[in-house]
């Protein structure tokens, strides 16, 4: 009987390797070989991402609520950018909606992705009016934090495009 090699099965961030060998009837019999990622490690990573997502979400909900309520500082800022007032309300709604979405595990990737686009727009807006790096640092930091959350919650990252045979 020949060893058909290890197959990797990924479920809930726990990687389990299987060794599959054909039995007398020709069916594959797979046995567990090793477990390189422990459940405690995967759980810790998930908890850290959740805490980060909640903190980033609360920051964006607060920022978006200021824009939606029409705080004088936000109005002045959008006038400096030469954007219409409706764009401030749209940005506030996007920030509040995405801030809520980033705290929900099923929507985390999509909320973080939308916030990444919003922060790129914020950095470009600051650069457009010639502000220094000190005004671009806060949206830059939020951009990096959103990118970390999006990467950790990405449903496509870490999965190969080619279909691997799954163990029976």
**Residue 78 in this model has a pLDDT that exceeds 80:** yes
The predicted-structure confidence for 88-113, as pLDDT tens digits, reads as follows 999 999 999 999 999 999 999 999 99
- Classify each residue of 97-130 as buried b or exposed e, where b means 16 or more C-beta atoms within 10 Å of its C-beta: bbbebbbeeebbbbbbbbbbebbeebbebbeeee
Distance CA 36, CA 15 (A): 6
The predicted-structure confidence for 21-69, as pLDDT tens digits, reads as follows 666 776 666 666 544 445 555 566 678 889 999 999 999 999 999 999 9
Lowest mean pLDDT among 20-24, 141-145, 149-153: 20-24
pLDDT at residue 155 in the model: 81
As a whole-number percent, the residues of the chain with pLDDT over 70 amount to 67
pTM: 0.69
């Amino acid at each position: 009987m020949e060893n058909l090699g290890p197959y990797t099965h990924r479920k809930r961030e726990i990687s389990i390797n299987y060794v599959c060998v054909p039995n007398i009837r020709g069916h594959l019999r797979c046995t567990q070989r090793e477990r390189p990622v422990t459940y405690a490690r995967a759980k810790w990573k998930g908890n850290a991402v959740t805490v980060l997502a909640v903190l980033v979400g609360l920051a964006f909900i607060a920022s978006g609520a200021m824009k939606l309520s029409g705080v004088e500082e936000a109005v002045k800022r959008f006038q400096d950018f030469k954007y219409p007032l409706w764009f401030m309300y749209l940005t506030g709604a996007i920030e509040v909606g995405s801030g809520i979405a980033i705290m929900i595990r099923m929507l985390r990737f999509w909320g973080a992705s939308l916030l990444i686009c919003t922060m790129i727009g914020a950095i470009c807006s600051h650069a457009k009016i010639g502000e220094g790096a000190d005004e671009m640092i806060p949206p830059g930091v939020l951009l990096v934090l959103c990118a970390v959350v999006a990467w950790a919650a990405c449903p496509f990252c870490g999965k190969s495009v080619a279909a691997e045979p799954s163990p029976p």
